Amino acid sequence: MSGPFSLSDRALSLKPSSTVAVTSRALELQRQGVDVISMSVGEPDFDTPDHVKAAAIRAIESGKTKYTAVSGIAELREAISAKFARENGLTYAPECVTVTSGGKQALFNAFFALLNPGDEVLIPAPYWVSYPEMVALTGAVPVAVPTTPESGFMLDPGELEARVTARTRMIVLNSPGNPTGAVFSPEVLRGVAAVAQRHGLMIVTDEMYEHLVYDAEQLSIGTLAPEHTLTVNGASKAYAMTGWRIGYAGGPKGVIAAMNALQSQSTSNASSVSQYAALAALGDHEATAQFVTLARAAYRARRDRIVSGLNALGLRTPTPQGAFYVMADTTPIHADELEATRRILDEARVAVVPGTDFAAPGQVRLSYATSMDNINEVLRRLAPLSGA
């Protein structure tokens, strides 16, 4: 080995997040004055609601700027416990709730708390880029369970069960899903819960997009198999609070305790000021609900426009039932999605995420969490590339 340091096997095996990478690239081009429209990052374009910002300012002014309990301030855990009961029908006492630096840290802590090297984890595909990477970091093995555009990316519990082996320990669910926007039906979720119960598996369900559902019924699988389920959520998507970095999880007490122990040795606690902001979002839930209702209506109109526009260009795009992403078939632009992504950026000046790291070959992900004007302009720019 030459050079002053050698990187760990873990660091060498880790693939950096492609959603974050494309977004950084688009920001850099914009900074250089290039007229790029970013459809890459999954981030609401709305501003954080005023009552949430005001609470954060009050927290700073009143000196709430110190360490908090590892699991989060008691008032926030109580508000999260009440939210789980009110909105999801889930019973998680405040000591069964933990607050983290974004949903990603909740997932990270959960995987490290629950997985051993060699364990297998079932993940419906296309999946969000970070699930398999985080699972692999623990030494466990991600196992993709395919879904298809033809079925609207609906999970088949039979396909899931067919991949259970003696080493399977966990199922990761994300509904509404990133990148597909699929919302798994109550019937599918009942099937998944039954698989978990039959084989003694843990379900980690990421419900970050739960408020962004358009034509489907949203059900929390934790109501069906509580002892098997860890429910992850956060403030980022529903309340336009990505930069505040507040995630949370509710689940069996022993799992939460192990996640807290991990967090005590890493970040200690989520930002105190952000926790008070999240408390306002969850505590003053009627003001927050008004914001969510307006945002959801805007996303629905944008979804309808982008889906019909992309299909009219010959870029086949199923209608997602939730979240704020679409998956477009870019094979008319190029058979290889990486090459299609490159052409879309270079020739149309539109940043999208290639399906490669989502296990979605021939497709790219577009986030429609952007203005209707941008969506119309993107469709105009893509027209010459698609040949339509």
**In this complex, which beta carbon is closest to ligand GLU, that of residue 184 or of residue 324?**
324
Using only the alpha carbons of the chain, give its radius of gyration: 21
Q: How far is the CB of 98 from ligand GLU (least distance, A)?
A: 19
Cα distance between residue 284 and residue 293, in whole Å: 15
How many Cβ atoms from other residues are within 10 Å of residue 378's Cβ?
25
Q: Closer to ligand GLU by CB, 17 or 30: give it.
A: 17
Cα three-residue angle 256-258-260, rounded to 5 degrees: 70
Judged by CB under 6 A, does residue 19 bind ligand GLU? yes
| Shortest distance (Å) from residue 161 CB to ligand GLU | 28
- Token pair belonging to 261: 């122990």
Task: Return the residues of window 246-275 that contact ligand GLU according to CB under 6 A.
Answer: none
Which of 17, 24, 267, 311 is the binder for ligand GLU (CB under 6 A)? 17
Interacting stretch for ligand GLU, rule CB under 6 A, among 6-14, 17-25, 46-54, 375-383? 17-25
Distances (CA, A) of 194 to 135, 157, 161, 319: 23, 9, 10, 28
Q: Spell out, one character per residue from 41 to 60, where the chain touches ligand GLU: x when CB under 6 A holds, - when not.
A: xx------------------
Tokens 């805007």 locate to: 298
Which lies closer to ligand GLU via its Cβ, residue 78 or residue 133? Answer: 133
Is residue 25 classed exposed, middle or buried when 0-12, 13-18 and 19+ CB atoms within 10 A define those classes?
middle
Work out how close the CB of 323 gets to ligand GLU at its nearest, in angstroms, rounded to a whole number: 10
Distance CA 121, CA 136 (A): 9
How far apart, in whole angstroms, are the C-alpha atoms of residue 347 and residue 294? 34
Integer Cα distance of 129 and 180 in angstroms: 12
Residues belonging to the chain = 388
Phi, psi dihedral angles at 115 (to 5 degrees): -115, 145
CA–CA gap between residue 66 and residue 271 (Å, rounded)? 9
The site map against ligand GLU for 286-325 (x = CB under 6 A) is ----------------------------------------
C-beta separation of 98 from 106 below 8 A: yes
Whole-number Cα distances in Å, 272 to 125, 268, 364, 384: 36, 11, 37, 49
With contacts defined by CB under 6 A, name the span among 16-24, 142-150, 254-262, 293-301 that binds ligand GLU: 16-24
**CA 371/CA 39 separation, integer angstroms:** 10
Among 14, 20, 137, 292, indicate the residue that binds ligand GLU (CB under 6 A). Answer: 20
Q: What are phi and psi of 61, to 5 degrees?
A: -65, -30
Question: Measured from the CB of residue 305, what is the shortest distance to ligand GLU in angstroms?
Answer: 20
> To the nearest whole angstrom, how small is the minimum distance from the Cβ of residue 197 to ligand GLU?
30
Cα separation of 40 and 226, whole Å?
35
**Residue 178 interacting with ligand GLU (CB under 6 A):** yes
- In angstroms, give the least distance from the CB of 345 to ligand GLU: 16
Q: Is 47 helix (H, G, I), strand (E, B) or coil?
A: coil
Nearer to ligand GLU, 18 or 330 (CB): 18
3-state secondary structure of 105: helix
Instruction: Compare residues 228 and 237 and give the one whose CB is closer to ligand GLU.
Output: 237
Of 17 and 267, CB closest to ligand GLU = 17
Residue placing its CB nearer to ligand GLU in the complex, 95 or 112: 112
- β-partners of residue 120 are 141, 168
Q: In this complex, which beta carbon is closest to ligand GLU, that of residue 77 or of residue 365?
A: 365
Q: Which two tokens stand for residue 278?
A: 């999240």
- Residue number, nearest CB to ligand GLU: 42
Site string for ligand GLU, 117-156 (x = CB under 6 A): -----------x-x--------------------------
How many residues sit in the footprint of ligand GLU (CB under 6 A)? 8
Query: In the complex, what is the shortest distance from the CB of residue 138 to ligand GLU, in angstroms, rounded to a whole number?
Result: 18
Q: Per rule CB under 6 A, is residue 24 in the interface with ligand GLU?
A: no
Binding site for ligand GLU (CB under 6 A): 17, 19-20, 41-42, 128, 130, 178
